[in-house]
């Protein structure tokens, strides 16, 4: 008996949960950013598992596009992080709360 | 055999993910995240998706994490100070959300287990580069092109965000060699006189200050 689809889905859900917890718990902007990357990866795992299960290439094309979005997000997000650091001399998200009501 | 491989890499992925969230040093976080990426790439290989596995290693573990580590080392931030009082509720909230999500996981496991979900063997060519390229350039050509536009926008956005803004205002005009000095610097006897003395060139300023400034620098021939 090989691994079943539900195992991959469970792994993906666990990784997504850990990523979500990290986004909430962490205060360092870069660590939060990495947790978001982890969540994206968990979703990618779901896509690939379903693609392999249904023998359909569409899921893997989705993964390809998600990876491109992640790369774009990394470039823009790290630019924003550098801009925040330059203005506030900190990476703590609690200090970058000017948009809060 | 496939089960053992899956368990090994799934355990590695979960362990690295937990290590990532529990660590405070962002550099160790990044290294743990690379561990997650590598183990996920191995799982993609067992799912008969070699192209995605290779892209995972090259793009995620390679390019994106190099960028992240570069920024971590560029900013070089020390360990974070303890959390402030009014945000303490975030940790129990995170625990509650994690509980809900894990309950959903258990539900997925339970309900999908009921169906016959054995993954087919590695007989298809779905995950190969050939079929992915075929899909990308025929049926999904428009998303592919939109992706390229997205990357272009990301390049422009990153450049405009990370550019250092000028310290001088836009209206300020600076002539090379021009200086504005206070009067009591120029003339030691005029103590407390802060009227500005403008000079147009460096030589003029040196003359005012009585500094020996070599003006006749011979041009090397």
Task: Please name the residues between 62 and 101 in chain A that touch chain B, using a CB distance below 8 Å.
Answer: 63-65, 67-76, 78-83, 85-86, 90-92, 94
Domain enclosing residue A72, as ranges: 27-90
Confidence of residue B123 (pLDDT cuts 50, 70, 90): low
pTM: 0.73
Tell whether B119 is covered by a domain: no
Tell whether A62 is covered by a domain: yes
Tell whether B91 is covered by a domain: no
Tell whether A33 is covered by a domain: yes
Task: Tell me how many domains chain B contains.
Answer: 1
Tell whether A97 is covered by a domain: no
Task: Please name the residues between 1 and 30 in chain A that touch chain B, using a CB distance below 8 Å.
Answer: 1-11, 13-22, 24-28, 30
Tell whether A101 is covered by a domain: no
Tell whether B140 is covered by a domain: no
Q: Which residue has the tokens 């008969």?
A: B48
Tell whether B129 is covered by a domain: no
Q: What value of ipTM does the predicted structure carry?
A: 0.92
Mean pLDDT of the B13-37 span: 91
Q: Which residue has the higher pLDDT, A64 or B213?
A: A64
Task: Tell me how many domains chain A contains.
Answer: 1
Tell whether A7 is covered by a domain: no
Calculate what percentage of chain A has a pLDDT beyond 90: 42
Tell whether B218 is covered by a domain: no
Tell whether B183 is covered by a domain: yes
User: Using alpha carbons only, how large is chain B's radius of gyration in Å?
Assistant: 31
How is A6-41 classified by DSSP, letter by letter?
HHHHHHHHHHHHHHHHHHHH--BHHHHHHHHHHHHH
Cα dihedral B115/B116/B120/B125 (nearest 10): -40
B25 to chain A: closest CA residue: A31
A39 touches B at CB < 8 Å: no
User: Measured between alpha carbons, how far is A66 from A68 in angstroms, rounded to an integer?
Assistant: 5
- For residue A6, the distance in angstroms to the closest alpha carbon of chain B comes to 5
Confidence of residue B82 (pLDDT cuts 50, 70, 90): low
User: Measured between alpha carbons, how far is B80 from B24 in angstroms, rounded to an integer?
Assistant: 7
Confidence of residue A16 (pLDDT cuts 50, 70, 90): very high
Tell whether B30 is covered by a domain: no
B92 to chain A: closest CA residue: A25
Give pLDDT tens digits for B138-191: 989 999 999 999 999 999 988 888 776 555 555 555 555 556 767 766 676 777
What local confidence, expressed as pLDDT, does residue B75 receive?
A: 85
Tell whether A38 is covered by a domain: yes
Confidence of residue B35 (pLDDT cuts 50, 70, 90): very high
Tell whether B204 is covered by a domain: yes
Identify the CATH number of the domain in which residue A61 sits: 1.10.287.3510
A92 to chain B: closest CA residue: B80
Tell whether A81 is covered by a domain: yes
Confidence of residue B221 (pLDDT cuts 50, 70, 90): very low
Partners of residue A68 in chain B, C-beta under 8 Å: 147, 150-151
Q: Identify which of A98, A97, A91, A101 has the alpha carbon closest to the alpha carbon of residue A26.
A: A91
Bridge partners (DSSP) of residue B118 are A4
Q: Is B80 in Cβ contact with A92 (below 8 Å)? A: yes
User: Measured between alpha carbons, how far is B57 from A14 in angstroms, rounded to an integer?
Assistant: 21
B128 phi/psi in degrees, rounded to 5: -75, 155
Residues sharing a CB contact under 8 Å with residue B74, sequence separation 6 or more, in sequence order: A82
B108 touches A at CB < 8 Å: yes
Tell whether A57 is covered by a domain: yes
């Amino acid at each position: 008996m090989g691994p079943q689809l539900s195992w991959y889905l469970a792994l993906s859900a666990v990784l997504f949960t850990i990523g979500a917890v990290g986004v909430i718990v962490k205060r360092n902007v870069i660590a939060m950013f990495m947790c978001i990357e982890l969540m994206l990866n968990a979703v990618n795992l779901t896509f690939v598992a379903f693609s392999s299960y249904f023998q359909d290439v569409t899921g893997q094309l989705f993964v390809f596009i998600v990876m491109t979005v992640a790369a774009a997000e990394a470039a823009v997000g790290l630019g924003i992080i550098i801009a925040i650091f330059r203005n506030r001399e900190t990476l703590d998200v609690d200090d970058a709360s000017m948009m809060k009501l | 055999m496939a089960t053992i491989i899956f368990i090994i890499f799934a355990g590695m992925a979960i362990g690295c993910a937990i290590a990532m969230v529990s660590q405070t040093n962002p550099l160790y976080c990044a290294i743990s995240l690379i561990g997650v990426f590598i183990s996920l790439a191995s799982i993609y290989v067992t799912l008969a998706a070699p192209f995605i596995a290779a892209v995972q290693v090259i793009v995620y573990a390679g390019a994106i994490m190099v960028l992240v580590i570069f920024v971590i080392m560029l900013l070089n931030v020390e360990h974070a100070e303890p959390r402030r009082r009014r945000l303490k509720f975030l940790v129990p909230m995170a625990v509650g959300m994690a509980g809900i999500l894990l309950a959903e996981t258990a539900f997925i496991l339970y309900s999908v287990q009921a169906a016959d979900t054995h993954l087919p063997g590695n007989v298809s060519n779905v995950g190969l580069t050939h079929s992915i390229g075929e899909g990308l350039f025929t049926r999904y050509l428009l998303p592919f092109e939109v992706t390229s536009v997205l990357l272009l926008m990301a390049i422009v956005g990153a450049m405009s965000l990370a550019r250092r803004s000028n310290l001088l205002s836009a209206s300020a005009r600076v002539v090379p060699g021009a200086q504005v000095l206070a009067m009591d610097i120029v003339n030691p006897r005029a103590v407390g006189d802060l009227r500005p003395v403008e000079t147009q060139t460096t030589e003029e300023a040196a003359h005012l200050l009585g500094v020996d400034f070599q003006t006749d620098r011979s041009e090397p021939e």
